[in-house]
Structure 1
Amino acid sequence: MARKAIPVGPHTHGLIEDARIDLARAVLAVREGENEPEFNLPEEVPNPLDDESINAFRQEIIEILSEFDPDELRPAEQRCRRIRALADSKGITSLTTIVDKQFSEEQVREINSQPDPLCRSIWAFLNARQTFEDAESFHFARQFRDYGKLYDAFEVELEKAVALDSGSIDEMALAAKITKVLELKTNCTVKALDLPATTAHPASIMLIVRHGGPLSSVYDHRDDGRRGTIYFRPPNEATLIYTPSMRQIEVCADSPVVRQEVAGSFAEIALGHDVSQKPLTWKRYNLSRFRSSLRLDVPRIDGYEIKFARVLEAEVRLGTWSRKLLLKVAVDDDIVDVADRYLRPNNIFRRADGFSRIGIAISYNRVGDEKERTLNITISGTKSCNLQSNKDPEERNLGFALLDAWGILSAFQQIDPNDLRAMFPQLIDLHDRTEDEVSGAYLRELGLDPDRLIQGGLLERRGRQDVVLIDDDDVGGEAVIKPSAREGMVRTEGAFGEDGGERPASDLEMYEINRQWLHETVVLLIKPLLTKRASQILDPDLTLLGAMQIGGAEVPVYFGRRLYDLKTLERLDLALRARNQAGVGIVLAASTEMPSHLGPNVVVPLLSNLSPEEAEIVLARDGLELAFRNNFSLARGGATPQVLRSGKQSATLHVPGKDALALVGADQITIFERLVDANKAGSPDKQVKELMDGLGSRSPQQAFRKAAWESILNNYISKGAKRGYWRLVVDTPIEAPV
């Protein structure tokens, strides 16, 4: 007989088994919302010295929790996951660091008296929640620092060093500045902490910026069976680390715009730096050139004579972040010869997917000065370099000039708003792509300069294509890429050595789209159109931008992408019909292939409603308003039931008094066309055999995904008066606005 699965999650189970039993029970007894169930755990805890009673008590807790559904146990599982995260090796170090900064001597003695890291983490969660959450922020910041996720590093050029610690930061002024630049609806809070030096990082200052996100809502199924709406403002957070010795600002946040604005606000308020005159420098380091050679040429730099430049240290990651290979040589060694001699000619450095660390030694002298000098440059990953910590501004400038000459350095330069506006149609095309990677050839066809987009943060380099497809009479199918004697060109060679001709090397360069930054850029260009701004990402392909005034009413405005994809279309239609309380709105579509409506909303193509070049905003407001008014009645169902096709595989069902329903696939369209015809003929009930004739299935339910079917059953389609019949559900239409 199959054993019943236990719904208790792994983190909850692990905490019950490993923690001191009184602390485990206390954590599981916590309720942070009215919707969380009461577990009714036993009040009396066994004697800690009685192992048998303790084990029996642990098993009893698991059995009690096993009576609840996984959804009911999810909040407890999330709390246990957070607690265990601060109990591992790096987690407990983060907790200890913050505890030492915030706790009184009595609190330190109390937490240190706990028997192990898990118990100390639980004690902090139960007795000092704010400190626990600050430790979580620090722990996450350390992870971002190490792995580069949701992370940016900015460098600030100060005229003179600023003596700074957490106590000298005006938290109130900084919070007010961030609230203003991010256009927050509620005030944010800022907390500053000093971070001691570690083996990996110098002494730093950490700021935790907590602020509310866009107003959101969820449906709540009440005990009486009715559905209600809970409105809430989700908590957002940004963590900033400033390292005075490096003059570097690091920011972790889920939005690139937030990262940039928070860094700029900190530089202005805390460092007294005029960002408008000297913007923060956002540098990226591209180490991919070392895949072809670890040797460096000697470029010409005005004012300097370069004697040599050599790579002395190279580190690559082997599959995962925890595995790495580091090769270090002396300044008189040739690192290429050493690698070939001891690691064989076809060594890992020639085949590396990516370098995580490169150390370079430069010998030079200044023009007119006979003194021979040396400069060491160490680059770690894509965002960290030791040059900024160099106190000599001339050496810093020389180092960055060399990295630029070698094609390693890419400095961030905000693209001028007028230039962004001019390339708006191309950015929309780029944003509407399914794949995140794009070739140089595709960018050339769009008329976009990849180097400029990289400097603006919209793209990142991802290497070069190794294989291309050739549709030619002599060379068909795949062709490999070979070097060419002509500069800037590559050769293509067929599977049997056939010459496929030459192509520009730039066409085969691959780039990755920075989705977040591109999305923020596009949204920023659209926002001047709005009278109310409340950006909220509802789906990876759907964003609520805010509202615009039409006929004295606020009309919600959404931005949708990939509407040519049928699965995306069905998913977004379902999401928007669930938001029908917002009223009829506008969906600005990035795609040219699209339905006329999505839920109770009019779909309007962005690229067909561009403003003239001399206009202040990128979209023509009059065109959007006209499209909205012309299609309003159909968004609410129109005057009579009808199915309007927008392509071979997509259509929209309009039923008076109901939100428009997007239909995807031939089966869905055929089913509702037959139901509409039956309704118009005066015999609304359609026998299932006739309804499904030629469709290869026996029930209309099989043409829809589960969630979509549940949303339309008894709303758009229902069973007929007789068994085996189906009919269209028809209601009363709503008047259009004047």
Structure 2
Amino acid sequence: MIVHTPSTGRVHVRAGTRKLRHDAAESFIRTVLEQEPSQQPVDFQAYDIARFFNGFDLGLPEFDDASILRARVIRADISIGNLANRLSVSTSLDEDIGQLISDQPGLERIFRNALAMRFVEIAVQYRRAGVDGERTLDFTLTDRNTTSLLSLDDPFERVLGHRLLRHWGILRDGRAPTPRESTAVLPALLALWNLASDRINGAWLHERGVDVKTLLDLGFLVPSGWEGDDLIDEEDDFGEHVAKVVERPEGLELHSSDGQSSSAALPERYRVYRIRDGWVASHLREQLGKALDITAMENIRPDLIALGALEIDGRDVPLYLARRLEDERVRAAIDTELRARDKQGIGLVLQAGDVAGVCLAANVLARLADHILPEGAEFAVDLTSLTAAFRRNRSLAQGGAAVEFHKSGTGAGVLSVPGRGTIDIVGENRVTVIDRLVQAYPTPMKTEDMIAGFGGQSLSSIFGQPLWDKLKAGFMRSPKRGQWEIAV
């Protein structure tokens, strides 16, 4: 279903998936309206029903095209004890739900201490200018950022409902960030983009000191309900338990169904937010384009963007933006893409995350957040520190001055070969094989000695064909049948 409201210029789409909604909206805007869609999401709105914790009074605004006679909340649902428990109070337009709640012994305290406001129904009695008779507009709102207003057939009532919600401070329309806000939120946006997830919980945001309100105001996050369950960390394993937040004099505690407990911060930690990944990515690209004076970007893959080039010491250094490098499969795929571009020379890969290391596929690796100029009037990248990081680590990206294998425990390591660059090795058996070969360098090693103790597996089965092909192409060679050595 596609709903277009001409007076506001907004297009709302209902479909089974977010991608289908996005595609349908873009097609409708281009073919029917003959316009280019906004870079901001078409449903760039957030409904905040938590404001009803402070009371249910709704002021009556004055509109030229409609007289608002009465407006009241006629139903309110809350969660009590734990998020799975719901308590609902409903009444009619003739009753004051706030007064009804306060008149019932103990009910007002229950509402005041509720974990979450989950559902609200509002009834509005109004008279439209130039139309005889009174009408009643009835609509609902949920904590999952949904409203029944979008299902109304009458476009006047859809618009009137949203005007009322703005007047009451329930509806927040997204707005473009100011230059200072762009700088302030960029580290958080990088972290969200690096997740490549469509959902995030309040605990993740709280622990990183993220300004949730600003991200909501700017439309990067949208409320999407609450967590109904939580994981309580036991000594030996993790078990899933229904959780509830209990108020104590010393603070809040999280209690599970089997009697375990742990300290809990504000209930907002258990909120779930949807990440508008398209808007996050679009804003990051726009800001990086301005800061680095980039005229064109290329999406190499979902987790790797070519940003053009940066001139350092008289040559153009290829510049990339990467994410999810902590995922072994994603990192391996990015490694493959970058090695296919090795003829462009040593590049500089800016990572959205904070994975350890200074090299990736014969390129210098740098954490973008470390090179953002702080306290600026607008977002800016410190090109001086970025250039210094490239100069400092480019020799390592080329493999350094000696054959080395830097191990991280027993299951990971980085092989450096002069003139060849570096390559990540993950997996205990793989690490063991490479370590044996490096220890033997410069003497060639027999294949049977390299794979001793691995049950007769071949080198290609130990490393997997993609990694084995990379090793043979640039880091290892066979001087004669049945032997291997480091290719220097």
Please report the TM-score for the alignment, with normalisation by the length of structure 2. Answer: 0.70
CA positional deviation for 1:516 = 2.3
**Which of 336, 344, 350 is the aligned partner of 1:574?**
336
CA positional deviation for 1:297 = 5.5
CA positional deviation for 1:420 = 2.1
CA positional deviation for 1:570 = 1.8
The aligned counterpart of 2:82 is: none
User: Once the two structures are aligned, what percentage of the paired residues are identical?
Assistant: 25
The aligned counterpart of 2:150 is: 385
CA positional deviation for 1:438 = 1.8
Change in CA separation of 1:703 and 1:590 when aligned onto 2, cut-off 3 Å: farther
Q: Contact 2:182/2:379 (CA < 8 Å) preserved in 1?
A: no
Distance 2:126 2:325 in 1: 57
Residue type of the alignment partner of 1:300? G
The aligned counterpart of 2:485 is: 727
The aligned counterpart of 1:703 is: 462
The aligned counterpart of 2:209 is: 447
Q: Structure 1, residues 550-574: CA drift from partner, whole Å, max 9, x if none?
A: 1222211111122222222222111
Change in CA separation of 1:636 and 1:402 when aligned onto 2, cut-off 3 Å: closer
Structure 1 counterpart SS, 2:295: strand
Does structure 1 residue 242 correspond to structure 2 residue 111?
A: no
Q: Structure 1, residues 164-207: CA drift from partner, whole Å, max 9, x if none?
A: xxxxxxxxxxxxxxxxxxxxxxxxxxxxxxxxxxxxx9xxxx99
Q: Cα RMSD between the aligned structures? A: 4.6
Residue type of the alignment partner of 1:402? L
CA positional deviation for 1:686 = 0.4
Does structure 1 residue 260 correspond to structure 2 residue 42?
A: no
Change in CA separation of 1:242 and 1:410 when aligned onto 2, cut-off 3 Å: farther
Does structure 1 residue 376 correspond to structure 2 residue 137?
A: yes
Structure 1 counterpart SS, 2:385: helix
The aligned counterpart of 1:689 is: 448
Change in CA separation of 1:305 and 1:468 when aligned onto 2, cut-off 3 Å: same
Q: Contact 1:577/1:659 (CA < 8 Å) preserved in 2?
A: no
Matches within 5 A, 1:120-139: none
CA positional deviation for 1:663 = 2.3
Residue type of the alignment partner of 2:281? H
Aligned length: 420
Q: Structure 1, residues 588-630: CA drift from partner, whole Å, max 9, x if none?
A: 1223223322223111122332324247653211111112122
Distance 2:167 2:267 in 1: 20
Structure 2 counterpart SS, 1:239: helix
**Which of 224, 228, 233 is the aligned partner of 1:462?**
224
Distance 1:207 1:472 in 2: 48
Change in CA separation of 1:470 and 1:660 when aligned onto 2, cut-off 3 Å: closer
Matches within 5 A, 1:224-373: 239=30, 241-242=32-33, 259-261=37-39, 282-284=43-45, 299-303=58-62, 304-306=68-70, 308=72, 362-364=124-126, 373=134
CA positional deviation for 1:636 = 3.0
Change in CA separation of 1:665 and 1:520 when aligned onto 2, cut-off 3 Å: farther
**Which of 391, 395, 404 is the aligned partner of 1:629?**
391
Distance 1:207 1:501 in 2: 46
Q: Contact 1:523/1:545 (CA < 8 Å) preserved in 2?
A: no
Single out whichever of 521-530 and 555-564 deviates more from structure 2: 521-530
Distance 1:676 1:485 in 2: 59
Where structure 1 has 5 or more consecutive residues not aligned to the other structure, the ranges are 1-89, 91-141, 154-200, 210-237, 244-248, 252-258, 264-279, 290-295, 312-330, 335-353, 731-738
Structure 1 counterpart SS, 2:279: helix
The aligned counterpart of 1:523 is: 285
Distance 1:631 1:438 in 2: 35
Q: Structure 1, residues 494-519: CA drift from partner, whole Å, max 9, x if none?
A: 32467777752211101122222222
CA positional deviation for 1:146 = 3.9
Change in CA separation of 1:703 and 1:467 when aligned onto 2, cut-off 3 Å: same
Does structure 1 residue 676 correspond to structure 2 residue 438?
A: yes
Residue type of the alignment partner of 1:149? R
Change in CA separation of 1:571 and 1:404 when aligned onto 2, cut-off 3 Å: farther
Residue type of the alignment partner of 1:686? M
If asked which structure has higher relative contact order (CA below 8 Å, sep 6+), I would say 2
Structure 1 counterpart SS, 2:195: coil
The aligned counterpart of 2:272 is: 510
Change in CA separation of 1:537 and 1:650 when aligned onto 2, cut-off 3 Å: farther
CA positional deviation for 1:415 = 2.3
Structure 1 counterpart SS, 2:296: strand
Matches within 5 A, 1:594-673: 594-614=356-376, 617-645=379-407, 649-673=411-435
Structure 1 counterpart SS, 2:200: strand
Residue type of the alignment partner of 1:306? R
Matches within 5 A, 1:36-55: none
CA positional deviation for 1:659 = 4.3
Distance 1:672 1:306 in 2: 77
Distance 2:57 2:122 in 1: 12
Change in CA separation of 1:686 and 1:428 when aligned onto 2, cut-off 3 Å: same
CA positional deviation for 1:583 = 1.8
Residue type of the alignment partner of 2:464? R
Distance 1:554 1:512 in 2: 39
Residue type of the alignment partner of 1:629? R
**Which of 164, 178, 186 is the aligned partner of 1:416?**
178
CA positional deviation for 1:710 = 2.7
Distance 2:365 2:337 in 1: 15
Change in CA separation of 1:667 and 1:537 when aligned onto 2, cut-off 3 Å: farther
Where structure 2 has 5 or more consecutive residues not aligned to the other structure, the ranges are 2-10, 63-67, 76-91, 96-117
Structure 1 counterpart SS, 2:460: helix
Residue type of the alignment partner of 2:287? L
Structure 1 counterpart SS, 2:223: strand
Please report the TM-score for the alignment, with normalisation by the length of structure 1. Answer: 0.48
Q: Contact 1:478/1:495 (CA < 8 Å) preserved in 2?
A: no
Q: Structure 1, residues 508-546: CA drift from partner, whole Å, max 9, x if none?
A: 101122222222222333233434433222222221122
**Which of 579, 586, 602 is the aligned partner of 2:348?**
586
CA positional deviation for 1:419 = 1.1
Structure 2 counterpart SS, 1:653: strand
Q: Contact 2:58/2:71 (CA < 8 Å) preserved in 1?
A: no
Q: Contact 1:288/1:463 (CA < 8 Å) preserved in 2?
A: no
Structure 2 counterpart SS, 1:242: coil
Change in CA separation of 1:678 and 1:432 when aligned onto 2, cut-off 3 Å: same
Distance 2:26 2:188 in 1: 38
Change in CA separation of 1:428 and 1:300 when aligned onto 2, cut-off 3 Å: same
